């Protein structure tokens, strides 16, 4: 067996070269060549704060230690890559330079990269393809230094360099932040913990790296979600590890038979609550429940940390984009998709698209109350589409269901209004348990308003708002409103006095009704020049006719 070996970047970044040396698979005192191309790649990854780069440096340091103890003979060979060669890296230029080093030194190429190995064989090299070896058993999570900070009551651990370690202990909705130790975390300890996490995640088939960006690494290590941050993203090195304390079933929640039956029919569900309230735990229980009901269930998560049964496939960003994931997920045709978390405008658009495509959706949303979850959709979707997208809102607090709301559309005069002419489409939000109307959502002028109905804690504010609304409609019938008509390049602006803002008015020409419109908060109506109303207004202006308004 050849005693000379050239390492490519893959066996450095996954640490396999160390295992091969320790297990004696390379013979006694092998000669290990590390091309400068590999060193440059590791240095580059470290300079841009990629956690894998720091791991690579640690592997190089261990190789140097093996050289000092005469366990290997270490060589650093070849030239550093040029700027042009680095630019051509995606095309395989750097890999070609590594293979050249193997040829020049008459050495065996060690790689875990299938393409690199196959090309090396084609070029006539001896290739030691590491993945052909029996994979080592992943180490037990309990052996990791990070796990020493956890006990059975710990929800999350927070480590920062030169500061004492802290932990959240308790249960969702009922936790406390405790100092674990008075001893600050040293630089060596936090670096060792970070490198150990990366090494374990790369070797364990049930763990994975979700995000690896400048100064930030997010991994899912079995049930632990771990975030490692560095400057420039954070002001210092920090490790945050979160785990679910409990895995619950739907029967563990305060859920009666009526709500359970409703969940069988509901297809636009929002699970909402404050951070740490237990939203994701409930969403996972709901996913497992649908699976038991013989439904095809998938999840869509930026970080795949929902604790669901293995039959439920968990999807994340495809090529860094959840839109790409959604395109594929629609082809899978799930009955229900658990979307954790719905936060950005793009997330709301994907959720809406899935619902309108007929997919049952359970969206997890951060909010301080049940109605706030609806507020996050207002302005992002048309009002008339709201009940088609959301039919049930479940608010989680303290790890249990606190509020359940139902959503439906009707046409009526909004509560507090007396004039039948003010009837309009209204989205009613009702308490599921009592069927009492608790909120109404409707168009008011050019705005969408959400009004509490029979509130308890905010009765004073509600009455003040109600009185304000009613006062806006107390203009006398026939009252003349002087209008300022401005003709722009693409539209006509009809401007009324500010006191008429957000009201409906009639536009009249010499006493003859032209049309009825809603004034905005700025007491304006914008009409495109292509509209028939604009043509009538222009004609009236050319004929010097009197144009004015009147309250509707």
Residue 165: which CATH number?
A: 3.30.450.90
In a domain, 476, yes or no: no
Residue 416: what pLDDT? Answer: 81
Residue 317: φ, ψ to 5°: -65, 130
Q: Give the helix/strand (H/E) hosting 35.
A: strand 31-35
**Same-domain status, 423 and 281:** yes
**Same-domain status, 287 and 407:** yes
User: In the structure, what pLDDT confidence band is assigned to residue 229 with cuts at 50, 70 and 90?
Assistant: very high
The CA distance from 531 to 535, in Å, is 7
For 206, which DSSP code? T
Q: What confidence tens digit (pLDDT) does each residue in 54-100 have?
A: 888 989 999 999 999 999 999 999 888 876 666 556 657 888 999 99
In a domain, 508, yes or no: yes
Share of the chain above pLDDT 70, in %: 91
Q: Among residues 214, 217, 207, 215, which one has the least CA distance to residue 304?
A: 207
Distance of CA 292 to the CA centre of its chain: 27
**Same-domain status, 69 and 216:** no
For CA atoms 349, 350, 356, 360, the dihedral sign is: negative
Range scoring the smallest mean pLDDT among 79-88, 160-169, 382-391: 79-88
Domain boundary among 210, 226, 242: 242
Lay out the sheet containing 336-340: strands in order across: 313-315, 297-301, 336-340, 360-366, 268-273, 392-397, 400-412, 424-431, 437-444, 447-452
**Same-domain status, 123 and 159:** no
CATH number of the domain residue 281 falls in: 3.40.50.300
**Same-domain status, 225 and 289:** no
> Are the C-beta atoms of residues 393 and 402 closer than 8 Å to each other?
no
User: In the structure, what pLDDT confidence band is assigned to residue 131 with cuts at 50, 70 and 90?
Assistant: low
Q: Look at the chain and report how many structural domains it folds into.
A: 4
* The residue to which tokens 């069927």 are assigned: 435
**Same-domain status, 281 and 417:** yes
In a domain, 49, yes or no: yes
Per-residue exposure over 372-409, b if at least 16 CB sit within 10 Å of its own CB, e if not:
bbbebbeeebebeebbbbbbbbbbbbebbbbbbbbbee
Q: Give the helix/strand (H/E) hosting 59.
A: helix 51-68
Per-residue exposure over 229-262, b if at least 16 CB sit within 10 Å of its own CB, e if not:
bbeeeeeebbbebbbbbeebebeebebeeebeeb
The CA distance from 68 to 75, in Å, is 12
Q: Among residues 151, 145, 117, 142, which one has the least CA distance to residue 131?
A: 117
According to DSSP, the β-strands at 360-366 and 268-273 are: parallel
Average pLDDT on 130-159 reads 72
**Same-domain status, 422 and 494:** no
Sequence-distant (6+) residues with CB within 8 A of 125 are 99, 102, 103, 108, 109
* 450 CB burial (10 A radius; 0-12, 13-18, 19+): middle
Average pLDDT on 447-454 reads 84
Tally of CB atoms within 10 A around 37:
26
The CA distance from 57 to 336, in Å, is 44
**Same-domain status, 354 and 407:** yes
Domain boundary among 100, 132, 164: 132
Residue 398: what pLDDT? Answer: 81
- Note every long-range contact of 77-80, with CB atoms under 8 Å and residues 24 or more positions apart, other chains counting: 77/6, 77/33, 77/34, 77/35, 77/36, 77/101, 77/104, 77/105, 78/35, 78/36, 78/37, 78/104, 79/36, 80/36, 80/37, 80/39, 80/40
For 476, which DSSP code? P
* Dihedral of the alpha carbons of 206, 210, 216, 221, in degrees to the nearest 10: -20
**Same-domain status, 459 and 407:** yes
Measure Cα distances from 501 to 482, 484, 505, 521, 534 in Å. Answer: 13, 14, 10, 5, 21
The CA distance from 5 to 303, in Å, is 38
According to DSSP, the β-strands at 31-35 and 4-7 are: parallel
Residue 364: what pLDDT? Answer: 93
> Are the C-beta atoms of residues 438 and 453 closer than 8 Å to each other?
yes
CATH number of the domain residue 531 falls in: 2.60.40
Residue 132 above 70 pLDDT? no
How does DSSP assign 107-170, residue by residue? Answer: -EEEES-HHHHHHHHHTT--EEEGGGSPPPPPPPGGGSGGGGG--TTEEEEEEEBTS--EEEEE
Residue 88: what pLDDT? Answer: 59
The CA distance from 415 to 14, in Å, is 65
Q: What residues make up the domain containing 165? A: 141-242
User: In the structure, what pLDDT confidence band is assigned to residue 223 with cuts at 50, 70 and 90?
Assistant: confident
**Same-domain status, 384 and 434:** yes
Average pLDDT on 220-243 reads 91
Per-residue exposure over 60-89, b if at least 16 CB sit within 10 Å of its own CB, e if not:
beebeebeeeebbebbebbeebeeebeeee
Instruction: Tell me if the pTM is above 0.85.
Output: no
In a domain, 475, yes or no: no
**Same-domain status, 414 and 519:** no
Domain boundary among 469, 492, 527: 469
Tell me the β-bridge partners of 410: 426
* The residue to which tokens 């999570």 are assigned: 141
């Amino acid at each position: 067996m050849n005693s000379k070996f050239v390492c490519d970047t893959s066996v450095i970044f996954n640490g396999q070269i160390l295992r091969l040396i320790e297990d004696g698979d390379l013979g006694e005192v092998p000669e290990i060549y590390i091309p400068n191309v590999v060193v440059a790649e590791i240095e580059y990854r470290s300079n841009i704060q990629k956690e894998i780069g720091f791991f690579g440096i640690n592997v190089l340091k261990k190789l140097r230690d093996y050289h000092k103890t005469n366990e290997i003979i270490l060589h650093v060979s070849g030239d550093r890559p040029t700027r042009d060669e680095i630019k051509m890296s995606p095309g395989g230029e750097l890999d070609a330079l590594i293979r050249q080093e193997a040829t020049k030194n008459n050495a065996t190429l060690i790689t875990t990269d299938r393409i690199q190995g196959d090309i090396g064989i084609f070029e006539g090299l001896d290739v030691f393809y590491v993945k052909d070896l029996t994979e080592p058993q992943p180490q037990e999570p309990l052996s990791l230094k990070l796990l020493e900070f956890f006990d059975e009551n710990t929800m999350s651990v927070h480590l920062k360099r030169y500061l004492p370690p802290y932990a959240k202990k308790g249960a969702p909705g009922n936790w406390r932040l405790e100092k674990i130790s008075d001893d600050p975390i040293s630089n060596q300890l936090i670096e060792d913990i970070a490198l150990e996490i990366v090494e374990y995640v790369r070797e364990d088939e049930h763990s994975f790296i979700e995000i690896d960006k400048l100064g930030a690494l997010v991994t899912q290590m079995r049930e632990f979600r771990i975030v490692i941050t560095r400057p420039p993203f954070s002001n210092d090195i920090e490790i945050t590890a979160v785990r679910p304390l409990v895995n619950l079933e739907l029967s563990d929640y305060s859920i009666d038979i009526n709500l359970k039956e409703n969940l069988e029919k509901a297809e636009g569900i929002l699970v909402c609550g404050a951070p740490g309230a237990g939203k994701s735990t409930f969403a996972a229980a709901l996913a497992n429940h649908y699976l038991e009901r013989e439904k095809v269930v998938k999840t869509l998560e930026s970080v795949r940390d929902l604790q669901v049964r293995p039959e439920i496939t968990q999807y994340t960003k495809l090529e860094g984009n959840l839109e790409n994931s959604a395109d594929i997920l629609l082809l899978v045709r799930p009955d229900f998709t658990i979307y954790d978390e719905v936060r950005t405008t793009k997330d709301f658009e994907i959720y809406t698209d899935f619902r309108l495509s007929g997919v049952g959706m359970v969206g997890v949303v951060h909010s301080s109350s049940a109605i706030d979850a609806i507020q996050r959709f207002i302005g992002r979707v048309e009002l008339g589409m709201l009940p088609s997208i959301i039919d049930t809102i479940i608010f989680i607090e303290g790890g249990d269901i606190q509020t359940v709301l139902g959503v439906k559309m009707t046409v009526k005069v909004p509560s507090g209004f007396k004039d039948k002419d003010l009837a309009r489409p209204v989205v009613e939000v009702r308490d599921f348990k009592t069927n009492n109307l608790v909120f109404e959502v409707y168009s008011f002028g050019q705005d969408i308003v959400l009004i509490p109905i029979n509130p308890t804690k905010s009765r004073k504010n509600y009455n003040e708002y109600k009185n304000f609304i009613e006062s806006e409609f107390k203009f006398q019938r026939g009252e003349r409103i002087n209008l300022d008509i401005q003709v722009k390049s693409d539209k006509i602006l009809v401007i009324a006095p500010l006191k008429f803002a957000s009201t409906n008015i009639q536009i009249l020409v010499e006493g003859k009704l032209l049309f009825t419109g809603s004034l905005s908060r700025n007491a304006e109506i914008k009409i495109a020049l292509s509209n028939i109303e604009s043509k009538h207004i222009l004609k009236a202006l050319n004929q010097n006719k009197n144009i004015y308004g009147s309250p509707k």
